[in-house]
Structure 1
Amino acid sequence: MPHKRRSQSWTELKKAGNECFKTGQYGEAACLYSQAIKDVEKSGKNSEDLSILYSNRAASYLKDGNCAECVKDCTVSLDLVPFGIKPLLRRGAAYEALERYRLAYVDYKTALQIDCHIPAAQDGTNRMTKCLTEVDGHSWREKLPPIPIVPMAVKENFSQATCQTTQHNGTREKYKSVPGEDVIKKALYLKEEGNALVKKAEYKKAIEKYTQSLKHNPSEITTYTNRALCYLSVKMYKEAVRDCGEALQLDPANIKALYRQAQAHKELKVRDFPMNKNCIVCTCFSNLFDLC
């Protein structure tokens, strides 16, 4: 039974929810965010705080396979603060899992208008284009709902916020930072060396190669998922969860990251991560163990 948290402020509840989310306790995280939402709504705090809380709870629902609730929370978040990148991507991933490909395309495409360098939005748009072409043929664009036009001010604010976050916190810039061509080639070479070692079942050596590769290019999703596979093979499950989390920050709908994260949670006996039939990870099991 969860402990009573009535004395906690909404910011403390949010922080506790974030910690639960990081450790894979998505149901508990959703409960904490729900309490924080109630407190913020009662106090009449600004819409930005409330938007973030709804988006965070949506992320918990998405990880938990509750895609319908994820869509609802993302929609509320976007009503409060229009054109938020995270709720757009999360709702897009949820729509995709629910096979509502036209709506998923609209969300991914809207995110691309805000920043055309977001890998999750690029990959999502490409996936939906392929799906819609197969379903509706070459006239699929005619059947799309209207795609919102993103105001220039929103694009500029996002760009400034991203740059400021990088400068102030010294953190990796996930969307804007593009390594040089030589650096990317070096990262790819190290990754391929890691792949070769995996084929020989030399997982610890492969981990070293992937780690070196990520130092050169920390935004390569498949390197994280490949290293996660190695961590699973050597029973380093917490490390596997961490790598899958990094991959999912870059691409919230990444099938391999979702599946391998679920495997790691199962080994860690985190029961708050069910393989729900509505979860996108359950829509495709083939080739999940292949290296990219």
Structure 2
Amino acid sequence: MAPKPPGSVLELRVAGNESFRSGQYAEAAELYGRALDALRETGPANPEEESVLYSNRAACHLKDGNCTHCIKDCSVALSLVPFGIKPLLRRAAAYEALEKYQLAYVDYKTVLQIDCTLPAAHDGVNRMTKALMDTDGLEWRLKLPPIPSVPIAAQKRWEAAPGGDHEKAAKTKLKETDTLNNKVPTVGDIKQARALKEEGNELVKKGKHKEAVEKYSESLTFSSLESATYTNRALCYLSLKKYKEAVKDCTEALKLDSKNIKAFYRRAQAFKELEDYQSSLEDVNSLLSIEPENSAATKLRQEVNRNLKI
């Protein structure tokens, strides 16, 4: 008598893990897919369990070289449980294989915010840095998408993986946290935030800095995860001679991206106007350590040094 095929979510997931361990990746992917179907049929889905199944199936796609499907499944897993280490690492590896180095860099850097001890993430950042310098030159950081700021609650999270002997569910629920409005922004929030940011950018081009500040501020109520919104508003504050506000915005931008050239430069400008020449010099030096050939920063350093000598 033939053994009964697996039918429950748990049975399908265990069978998928067994297939994965034995190198049967296509079979494992199918079993994880059936487990997802079964999970939905049982009623309201458990986001954590559903996220793990998508992440596990993504691992199968990655092993089989199907990077596009891997990225898709990882993105779904991350939409269900943000900042999962394994889907981030798997998506980064898939982006890397497709030579989408900027996106891979962002995912590897995000992982390091969650757990700074992971060699795979450190190695990935080093590889992507080299690849991006080769393709984009010294200004490669300026072309990067924004790197999300990871809430403390998301650090050191573990999730189940294919082939694990003792699968562990994440014990710490991710707090819905965002710098301004205490929630994780939805896709709609992010789209609205970016639309408002673009409106602000258009106002800047017309020299309407006060109105642009209002647009950037409104954008940040929807999502505060883009460093460019802060640096753009800081530019407006500099034009409006609101230097303390400019310093504050640049500091927020640097929390999101610790090597943000514009944030260092604009904060240095603001500190100079506030006659805090030592802080200004420190920011300029930080900038030049990242981008030694930046002529504007070199000129600003000369001006600050002159003031320090007076």
Task: State the TM-score bracket (shorter-chain normalisation).
Answer: 0.5 to 0.7
Q: Secondary structure at the match of 2:65?
A: coil
What does 1:95-114 correspond to in 2, within 5 Å? 95-114=95-114
Amino acid at match of 2:111: A
Aligned partner letter, 1:137: G
Partner residue, 2:45:
45
TM-superposed CA distance for 1:64, in Å, is 0.5
How far has the Cα of 1:42 moved from its partner?
2.1
What amino acid sits opposite 1:117 in the alignment? T
Aligned to 1:35: 34
Count, aligned residues: 159
Q: Residue 59 of structure 1 aligns with which residue?
A: 59
The equivalent residue for 1:147 is 147
Alignment partner of 1:93 is 2:88: no
- Amino acid aligned to 1:31: E
Match of 2:74, SS? helix
Q: Give the deviation of 1:45 after TM superposition.
A: 2.7
Give the partner amino acid of 2:108.
Y
1:120 aligns with 2:145: no
Q: What is the alpha-carbon distance in structure 2 between the residues aligned to residue 4 and residue 61 of structure 1?
A: 27
CA distance in 1, matches of 2:69, 2:13: 19
Distance 1:22 1:99, change over 3 A: same
Deviation at 1:72, TM superposition (A): 0.1
The Cα offsets for residues 12-51 of structure 1, whole Å up to 9 and x where unpaired, read as: 1000000000010000000000000111122223100000
Report the Cα offset of residue 127 of structure 1: 0.3
Equivalents in 1 of 2:78, 2:141: separation in Å? Answer: 24
Q: Which residue number corresponds to residue 134 of structure 2? A: 134
Structure 2 residue identity aligned to 1:69: H
1:246-285 residue pairs with structure 2 within 5 A? none
Q: Distance in 1 between matches of 2:30 and 2:90?
A: 19
Q: CA RMSD in A?
A: 2.1
Distance 2:64 2:95 in 1: 15
Counterpart for residue 11 of structure 2: 12
Gaps (5+ residues) in structure 1?
163-168, 172-292
Equivalent in the alignment of 1:23: 22
Deviations 1:220-279 (A, max 9, x none): xxxxxxxxxxxxxxxxxxxxxxxxxxxxxxxxxxxxxxxxxxxxxxxxxxxxxxxxxxxx
Instruction: Please tell me the residue identity of whatever aligns with 1:49.
Output: E
Mapping of residues 159-174 of structure 1, within 5 Å: none
**SS at 1:77's partner residue?**
helix
Partner residue in 1 for 2:234: none
Mean CA deviation greater in 40-49 or 85-94: 40-49
Cα displacement (A) at 1:52: 0.1
Matches of 2:47 and 2:147, distance apart in 1: 24
Question: 2:114 is aligned with what amino acid?
Answer: I
Structure 2 letter corresponding to 1:85? I
Separation (CA, whole Å) in 2 of partners of 1:64 and 1:153: 33
- Whole-angstrom distance in 2 between the partners of 1:82 and 1:45: 16
1:129 maps to a residue whose letter is T
Gaps of 5+ in 2: 160-165, 169-310
Question: Quick one: distance in 2 between partners of 1:153 and 1:139?
Answer: 33
- Report the AA paired with residue 12 of structure 2: L
Residues 54-98 of structure 1 deviation map (CA, whole Å, 9 limit, x = unaligned)? 000000000001000000000000000000000000000000000
2:287 maps to: none
Which residue of structure 2 lines up, in the alignment, with residue 84 of structure 1? 84
Percent of matched pairs sharing the same residue = 61
- 1:152, CA displacement in angstroms? 1.0
Q: CA deviation at 1:154?
A: 1.1
d(CA) in 2 for partners of 1:61 and 1:26?
7
Q: Secondary structure at the match of 1:117?
A: coil
Secondary structure at the aligned position of 2:149 is classed as: coil
Q: Which residue of 1 aligns with 2:237?
A: none
So what's the TM-score if we normalise by structure 2? 0.49
Higher Rg of the two aligned structures: 2
Q: TM-score, normalised by structure 1?
A: 0.52
Deviation at residue 4 of structure 1 after TM alignment: 7.2
| Secondary structure of 1:150's aligned partner | coil
Opposite residue 109 of structure 1, the aligned amino acid is: K
SS at match of 2:57: helix
Which string of whole-angstrom CA distances, capped at 9 and with x for unpartnered residues, describes residues 126-179 of structure 1?
000000000000110100011000001111x52xx69xxxxxx7x9xxxxxxxx
